[in-house]
Structure formats: C-alpha cells, structure tokens
C-alpha cells in the first residue's frame, strides 16, 4: 500500500506572529530545533513561512551599525516567504516529492481539509530512506556513527564545550591539521572547570586524554570488551591498514545497547 503524506509528516506547527522580530524568531528556531516557522495571523491562518536562511541573510546584510539598526526593525512579516506551499495529508508521498522538486523548496505545510496539521520536509524524506534499509549489525562498522565532532588542539576549551552542548555529544575528538588523532576531550575532562572556572586561553590540547581506537572490522564483542576494560563509553573507529588517516567514525556504548534492544537481537528472544 502506497504511503501517504500523513505517514511521514511531523504533526503540529511551530509558529510565530507576523510582528515577531528576527531575534525572537531565532530564539524559537533554537528552542524547538527546527529550520522554519509558520507565520500565522491572529486567527491562526498561515500567512507565510520564515526560515533560518532568511535570518542568515539578515545577519550577513547587517555589516555596519546603520544596516544592523535597520535589520533589527524588520519582523517576520517582512522576511517571510509567501504564499506557503501546501500539500494535503491524504495524497501519496510521491506527489509530495514532485511538489518539492517542482517548487524547489525544502518543506511543505500539510493540510487536512484545508486546515494546517503539520509539516513535511526534506529531512523527513531523508530519514525514511535511512530507515527503509535494515542495517547489518555484526561489526563495529555496521553500527558506528559516521558523524564525528572534531576540533584542533589549539581550540579553546570553552569553544569545545559549546560545540559539545550544541551537538548533544559527550566528547569531542582532537585532531591535527592532517586529521591525525591527537586525543579526546570528554565531559569528565571538563568537570573540574565547573568549580575552577575556565581560563579563556586554555586549549583542549592541555586537557585531552588519549583516544582509544578500534578497527572498522572488529566485532561488537571486541568493542564491548575494550570499553569495559578501559572504562570508556566510546571508541574511535579507524582502518588498521591506514592508522594515520582521518578516523572513520565513533562507536559508543549506546550503539551496542541499541543493538541489544533490536527485536531480532538474541537479548530479546525468550527461548
């Protein structure tokens, strides 16, 4: 059975009023971790859409105090895109894909009998592609995260802490100019600065600890054993045949627990 827009959309709308300032829009986007807001009138009708790109354009155009003052007076109604591109909740996903492509937009307002009920975006389609294929979960390479939060050794500790907070990661990998691993900075490395305070000149090279690595083709059992033996929650994944190359990813204790939670895992079988 063909999937419909309602099967993939995000229900509910994050909105702002037409008179919201750029600063207020930025706060809402950040709080809700979304890329766009629907601009609604006093009756809740969608008048337009304002995205993070609209704000970035305003930021770059504010090159001096005069232009900044002018930009700060602008509201969501001044920057929003009109009209809002919509799609009905009950149409096939393939039609929504066609609409996104034809209009060259990143998201559509989903309506049900012309009443706004949610949003469907490019991110939703990307997520559906990722979930459509059942991954193998036998080796480190099958479950690792390909995304890595990295910084250079000269990065200030405060900047690394902000990056970890923003990304939701508990550690950051420290590399040199060629991507060679120098070490890792974790939340535990930063705990002492809660009491002591952070010198703005202190860099991560001075607080990092050695990185623990594992080969891409190692088994999950080997990864778990290495974590337990060394009291580490994550390992840096490398190719043993090219150990000085940029790291391939990270595997954490959470990745292994997620495997144990899979319905077809041996841990979920009753007999």
Edge-to-edge strands, sheet with 86-88: 10-11, 115-121, 107-112, 86-88
Q: What are the tens digits of pLDDT across the range 56-88?
A: 766 666 667 887 788 878 899 998 999 899 999
What pLDDT, on a 0 to 100 scale, did the predictor assign at position 183?
92
**Which pair of tokens denotes residue 161?**
């802490």
Query: Of 28-37, 127-136, 157-166, which range is least confident?
Result: 127-136
**Which pair of tokens denotes residue 14?**
């994050």
Instruction: Tell which CATH classification among 3.10.580.10, 3.40.50.620, 3.40.50.10490, 3.90.550.10 matches the domain 140-260.
Output: 3.10.580.10
Q: How confident is the model at residue 119 (pLDDT cuts 50, 70, 90)?
A: very high
Look at 197 and 45; give whichever has higher pLDDT. 45
CA angle 215, 153, 59 (to 5 degrees): 110
Q: Measure CA of the first residue to CA of the last residue in the chain; give whole Å.
A: 34
* 171-175 vs 150-152, strand pairing mode: parallel
CA dist list (Å): 109 to 33, 38, 44, 51: 17, 8, 14, 13
Identify whether the C-beta of residue 141 lies closer than 8 Å to the C-beta of residue 55: no
Identify whether the C-beta of residue 250 lies closer than 8 Å to the C-beta of residue 144: yes
pTM above 0.85, yes or no: no
CA dist list (Å): 154 to 135, 179, 196: 38, 14, 20
Q: Looking at the chain, list the stretches that DSSP marks H as alpha helix, in order from N- to C-terminal side.
A: 5-8, 22-32, 52-61, 65-72, 76-79, 93-103, 122-132, 140-143, 157-167, 187-190, 192-196, 220-230, 253-260
What residues contact residue 58 under an 8 Å CB cut-off, 6+ apart?
A: 22, 71, 74, 79
Residue range 28-55: average pLDDT?
88
Same fold, 5-130 and 140-260: yes
Letter string b/e over residues 80-98, b meaning 16 or more CB atoms within 10 A of that residue's CB: beeebbebbbeeebeebee
The per-residue pLDDT of the chain, averaged, comes to 83
User: What is the sign of the dihedral through the CA atoms of 125, 127, 131 and 136?
Assistant: positive
Domain ranges of the chain: 5-130, 140-260
Question: Which CATH superfamily does the domain covering 5-130 fall into?
Answer: CBS-domain (3.10.580.10)
Identify whether the C-beta of residue 248 lies closer than 8 Å to the C-beta of residue 144: yes
Q: Is residue 133 pLDDT above 60, yes or no?
A: no
CA dist list (Å): 215 to 212, 240, 242: 11, 6, 10
User: Whose structure tokens read 């009443």?
Assistant: 115
What pLDDT, on a 0 to 100 scale, did the predictor assign at position 203?
92
What pLDDT, on a 0 to 100 scale, did the predictor assign at position 110?
93
Residue range 99-121: average pLDDT?
88
């Amino acid at each position: 059975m063909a999937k419909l827009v309602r099967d993939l959309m995000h229900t509910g709308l994050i909105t702002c009023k037409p008179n919201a300032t750029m600063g207020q829009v930025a706060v809402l986007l950040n709080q809700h971790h979304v890329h766009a807001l629907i601009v609604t009138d006093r009756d809740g009708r969608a008048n337009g859409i304002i995205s993070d790109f609209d704000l970035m354009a305003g930021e770059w155009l504010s090159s001096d105090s005069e232009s900044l003052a002018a930009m700060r007076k602008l509201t969501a109604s001044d920057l929003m895109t009109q009209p809002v591109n919509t799609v009905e909740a009950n149409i096939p996903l393939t039609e929504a894909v066609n609409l996104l492509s034809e209009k060259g937009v990143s998201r559509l307002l989903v309506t049900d009998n012309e009443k706004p009920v949610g949003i469907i975006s490019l991110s939703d389609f990307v997520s559906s592609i990722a979930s459509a294929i059942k991954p193998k979960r036998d080796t480190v390479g099958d479950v690792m995260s390909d995304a890595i939060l990295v910084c250079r050794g000269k990065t200030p500790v405060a900047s690394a802490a902000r990056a970890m907070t923003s990304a939701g990661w508990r550690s950051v990998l420290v590399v040199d100019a060629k991507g060679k691993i120098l070490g890792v900075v974790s939340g535990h490395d930063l705990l002492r600065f809660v009491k002591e305070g952070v010198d703005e000149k202190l860099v991560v090279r001075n607080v990092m600890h050695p990185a623990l690595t594992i080969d891409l083709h190692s088994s999950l059992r080997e990864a778990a054993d290495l974590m337990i033996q060394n009291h580490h929650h994550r390992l840096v994944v490398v190719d043993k045949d090219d150990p000085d190359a940029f790291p391939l990813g990270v595997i954490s204790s959470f990745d292994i627990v997620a495997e144990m939670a899979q319905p077809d895992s041996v841990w979920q079988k009753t007999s």
